[in-house]
Chains A and B, each alone.
Chain A
Amino acid sequence: MPSQQAQLAEDHLFRDYDTGSFFDEMFAAPGQPRPHYATIFQELGAMAPTQFQELRQLADFSFLLQGITFTVYSDGQGTERLFPFDLVPRIVPHSEWRHIQRGLEQRVRALNLFLQDVYGPQRILKDRVVPRPLIYSCRHFCRQMIGVDVPRGIYTHIAGIDLVRDSRTGQYLVLEDNVRTPSGISYVLENRQVMTRTLPRAFQLHNVLPVDHYPAELCQILRRLSPRGGDRPVMVLLTPGIHNSAYFEHTFLAQQMGIELVEGRDLVVDCDIVYMKTIHGLTRVDVIYRRIDDDFLDPLAFRPDSILGIPGLMGAYRAGNVALANAVGNGVADDKAIYAYVPAFIRYYLAEEPVLSNVDTYLCARPDDLAYVLEHLPELVVKAVGESGGYGMLIGPAATQAAIADFRERLRANPRNYIAQPVIALSRCPSHDPRTGRMAGRHIDLRPYCLFDGEQVTIVPGGLTRVALQPGSLVVNSSQGGGSKDTWVLGSDA
C-alpha cells in the first residue's frame, strides 16, 4: 500500500525487517501489513527509532518503579529481574478470537469433566479411552482425592492454556494445558496499563476489548465456593512467600480482589477448620486461592518436609470445611502425556470435535513411539511430562550432541516421563531489538486465562503473549529469557 509507505519516517523502525520463512503476525508479505495491523504499523512506522527508544525506557522505568519483577533461580542466587516488555502489541481480530474462545471453552469443560471422572467413577478408564497405567503412573495423580466431593464439582477454576500459531498452516494449536496454578495474568493487566500510558494514541485508534475485569470475575468464582455461604466469606490467597518467582502476581491479585494474602505460617487447622492468625486471635477461613503446589500444601498429607504448607489442610478440605482453588490433584490433567488424550476427552465427554488441535505428540511410554523418538531426537522437542516453565526440555535442532546423548539415556531410563513433538515453527511478531534499535521478527505464543464457575467459562479477551526475545529462540518462558507483549483483541475484525 503506497500511501502507507509514504508516511514512514525516513529512517524507520521497520527498515530491513525480514519476515523470514515464518508466519508473520503483522505482515502478509514484506512491507504489506495485514488489515488489523495497518494502523499500528502506520503509527510505529512514522516514529523515529530514537523516539521509540525513549518510550521503551519510559515503559521499563515504570515497571522498575512498580517493582514488577520476577525471580530467576538458575543462576544459583535467585536474582530479581524485570520481565522484559515489548511495546509492539500482538493484535487478534474479533473473528479469530471467537474461534479461539470456542476452542478454549470446550477444552476447559472437557478437562474438568475428566477430573471429575478420574477421581470419581473412572468411566473413561473402564471404557479404555485412556490406559489405566498411564493415569496411575502419573506423578501428579493424587490418590487422596479419589472420592472427594469438591465444591460445586469444579476442579479447574483457573486454566492457562498455551496456544501457538503454526507457520506452516497459520492455524492455532494447543501446546499445553496448565490447570494447577497457572501464572502470568498480572502481567496481562500491568502490560495493558503501561501500554495505554506509553502509546495512548495508537491504543485509542483501535477498538481493544478490556481485560481489567479479571480480578472481579475470579473473586466472584471464589466467593461462590464458600462452604458456609453468606455474603462475606473469608477468602485468602495462599502464597509460598516472597521468594517465589510469581510473588508479585500473588500480591497483585490479592490486592485487586481485596482478599488477604497469607503464607502457610499464617494459617492453622483445628478440628478440620482452617483459621488465620490475626492480631485479635483466630479467624475462620472459607476459601483458599492457593498458589502453592499440591506437594507442599499439607505436610501431613504430602511432603512431610514442606514448611510452606499447613498441617491438616487436606483434612479440612476433605471434610468440606474449606474450599481450594484450583482443586488438588489437577496435575493429572495437564501431564504432558495425558495432554495427547485431551482431544479424545472432548469427543468422549462432550461428543464434539475439538475446535483447536493438539500438536502431534509421541508418548515415550508407548514402545513404538519411543523407538521413533530415539531415532529422530535431533529433529524433535522432548519434554518431561510433569515439568513446566520451560524446564526439563530438549530442543533437538538447537541441542548439542552431548545434550542429545544425555536425553537418550534419560528416555531409556524412564520413558513414561517423556513426550516428544515435532518442532513447531511458531509465528513471529515484530519486536524491538535494543541492539539494532529496529524491529525484528520474534517467535511468540499466547496464554489465555480461562475462569470456570461450574457452568460458564469466562475468558478475558486475549491473554499473555510471550515472546522469545533472543534471535531465533523458540523458548518464550520468562525463566529462559522471554518477554511479553500486550495482547489486543479487537471488538471488530480490523
Chain B
Amino acid sequence: MMLSRIADSLFWMARYMERAEDTARILDVNYHMMIEQPPHAYRLRWDPLVAITGEQERFSAHYQQATPRNVLEFLAFSPRNPSSIVQCITSVRENARTIRDRISRELWENINGLYHSVTRYNAEEEIAVGPHRFCNAVKFGAHSFHGVADDTLPHDEGWNFLQAGRALERAEMTARIVDVEYHKLVDSSASGDAAGNHQWMAVLKSVAAYEFYRRQYHAGIEPARVAELLVLHAQLPRSIRFNIATVQRSLRAISGSIPGAYADEAERLTGKLHESLMYDRMEDIFAQGLHAFLADVQKSCRSIGEHIARTYFYYAVVQ
C-alpha cells in the first residue's frame, strides 16, 4: 500500500538527485576541457551548458555574459536557479523529509549529510579553485545515495518509482546533451578537427562513456558514433535506450502489466519510445534528422512524466 504523495516524493527525489549529478558531471568535464583551450573559446563553450539544463532565460535575467565564473555560479550554487546543484540537493532533502518515515534511516542520513556538506561550500572559494572538488563531492554523493537506496530500501513499488524517476530524468538529460552538442559542433566546425574532437571527448566523459567508446570503436571520435552510443546502446547506463528500458520495466513492475500490453498512457508512450530506440538504426535517425528525433524524445519524456503523475499521483477521486 503506497500513498500517492509518497510515490510522488520518491519519484521527484530521484529526479532531483539525477539532475544534480548530471549538472555536476557536465560542469566538471567541460571546465577541465575549457582550461586546455585558448580564452577566445569561452563563449562558444559555456553558453551550451546553460542550454543543456534548459535555463537560458533565467540565466540571461541575472547575468550579462556566459563567463565560466557566471555559468559555474549559476549552475552549481545559485539560489536563484531552481536547477542549480545546491537547489537540487535541497529539493532532494525536502522531498526526503516529507517521507522520512518511509525511507530507511541510512538513506535519510545519507541525504541529510550530503545536504549539509553541499550547503557548506563557499561559492566564491570554489569558483576560485575550480569546480572539481565540489562536483566530485556531488557525484560521490549521488553514487552513495543510489547505493544506500538499493541496499536498504525494499525493492517494492516505492523503489520502482525511484528507479523510474532517475531513469526518466537521465534519458531526457542525455537527449539534451547530444542535441545541444551535436547541433553546435556539426553547425560550427567540420567534424574530426581538433576542437570538435576535444568537445566530443568532453561529452563522452560527462556521461562516463569515454573508455567504453574507445574499447567499442578503436577509432577516432566520430560524432555519428558518439550519438549512436548515447542514443541507442542497450547496455550503457547513461544511454537513452537503456534508461527508457528502465522506465518501462519500473512502470510494469508497479502496474503488474505483462510485456506486450500496457496499463496506462505512461506505459504506452514508454513502450512506443522504447520500440523505436530498439529497432531504429542510426541511419534512419539521421535521415529523419537527429535534432528532430531528439526533440521527440524530450517531448515523450515530458509526456511520460505527466502521465505518471496523472495515473498515480494526482488522479481525480470520483465521489
Which A residues lie at the B interface, using CB under 8 A? 64-67, 234, 241-242, 247, 250-252, 254-255, 260-263, 265-266, 268, 270, 276-280, 282-283
Contact = CB atoms under 8 A, between A and B. Distances in A.
A66 B101 contact: no
5 contacts: A67-B108, A251-B101, A260-B1, A278-B1, A283-B1
B2 A279 contact: yes
A279 B112 CA distance: 27
Contact of B116 (A64, A251, A260): A64
B317 A67 contact: no
Contacts of B157: 279
B254 interface: yes
B317 A268 contact: yes
B97 interface: yes
A234 B100 CA distance: 19
Contacts of B108: 66-67
Contacts of A251: 97, 100-101
Contacts of A263: 5
Given A64-B116, A67-B108, A278 B4 contact: yes
Contact of B3 (A66, A252, A255, A260): A260
A255 B3 CA distance: 14
B113 interface: yes
Nearest to B97: A242
A250 to B, nearest CB: 8
A234 B1 CA distance: 10
Contacts of A278: 1-4
Interface string B279-319: 00000000000000000000000000000000011010101
A123 B100 CA distance: 46
Contacts of A247: 97
A251 B105 CA distance: 11
B113 A261 contact: no
Interface string B90-109: 00001001111110010011
Nearest to B112: A67
B7 interface: yes
Contacts of B101: 250-252, 254-255, 261
Nearest to A241: B98
Enumerate the 10 nearest inter-chain pairs by beta-carbon distance, A residue then B residue, closest first.
A255-B101, A254-B101, A251-B101, A279-B312, A261-B101, A67-B112, A251-B100, A277-B4, A279-B7, A279-B2
A269 B147 CA distance: 40
A30 to B, nearest CB: 42
A279 B100 CA distance: 18
A234 B98 CA distance: 20
A242 B312 contact: no
B4 to A, nearest CB: 5
B112 A66 contact: yes
A261 B112 contact: no
Nearest to A236: B3
Contacts of A268: 317, 319
A254 B103 CA distance: 12
Contact of B4 (A250, A255, A279): A279
A265 B5 contact: yes
B158 to A, nearest CB: 9
Contacts of B99: 261
A410 B319 CA distance: 48
B3 A65 contact: no
Contact of B317 (A66, A252, A260, A277): A277
B252 to A, nearest CB: 14
Given A250-B101, A260-B3, 5 more contacts: A65-B112, A265-B5, A266-B4, A277-B4, A280-B1
A280 B254 CA distance: 9
Nearest to A257: B101
Contact of A276 (B3, B98, B113, B315): B3
Nearest to B104: A255
Contact of A255 (B94, B98, B100): B100
Among A276, A278, A282, the most chain B Cβ lie within 10 Å of the Cβ of A278
Contacts of A262: 3, 5
A282 B157 CA distance: 16
A455 B83 CA distance: 55
Contact of A66 (B2, B102, B109, B313): B109
Contact of A270 (B5, B116, B319): B319
Interface in B1-55: 1-5, 7
B112 A266 contact: no
A65 B98 contact: no
Contacts of A255: 100-102
A260 B98 CA distance: 12
Contacts of A266: 3-5
Nearest to B113: A65
Among A67, A250, A280, the most chain B Cβ lie within 10 Å of the Cβ of A67
Contacts of A261: 99, 101-102
Contacts of B315: 277
B93 to A, nearest CB: 8
Nearest to A312: B319
Contacts of A254: 101
Contacts of A280: 1-2
A322 to B, nearest CB: 17
Among B5, B7, B108, B315, the most chain A Cβ lie within 10 Å of the Cβ of B5
A282 B4 contact: no
B298 to A, nearest CB: 26
A251 B101 CA distance: 5
A374 B170 CA distance: 69
A263 B4 CA distance: 11
Contacts of A66: 105, 108-109, 112
A261 B94 CA distance: 16
Nearest to A67: B112
A262 B5 CA distance: 9
Among B98, B105, B109, the most chain A Cβ lie within 10 Å of the Cβ of B98
B256 to A, nearest CB: 10
A285 to B, nearest CB: 11
Given A242-B97, A255-B101, A262-B3, A279 B254 contact: yes
Interface in B67-97: 94, 97
Contact of A242 (B94, B116, B254, B317): B94
A233 to B, nearest CB: 13
B4 A67 contact: no
A279 B9 CA distance: 12
Contacts of B109: 65-67
A277 B94 CA distance: 21
Contacts of B7: 279
Contacts of B105: 66
B308 to A, nearest CB: 10
Contacts of A260: 1, 3
A119 B108 CA distance: 44
A279 B2 CA distance: 6
A396 to B, nearest CB: 40
A280 to B, nearest CB: 8
A39 to B, nearest CB: 32
A263 B3 CA distance: 10
A247 B5 CA distance: 16
Contacts of A265: 5
Nearest to B315: A277
A261 to B, nearest CB: 5
Contacts of A283: 1
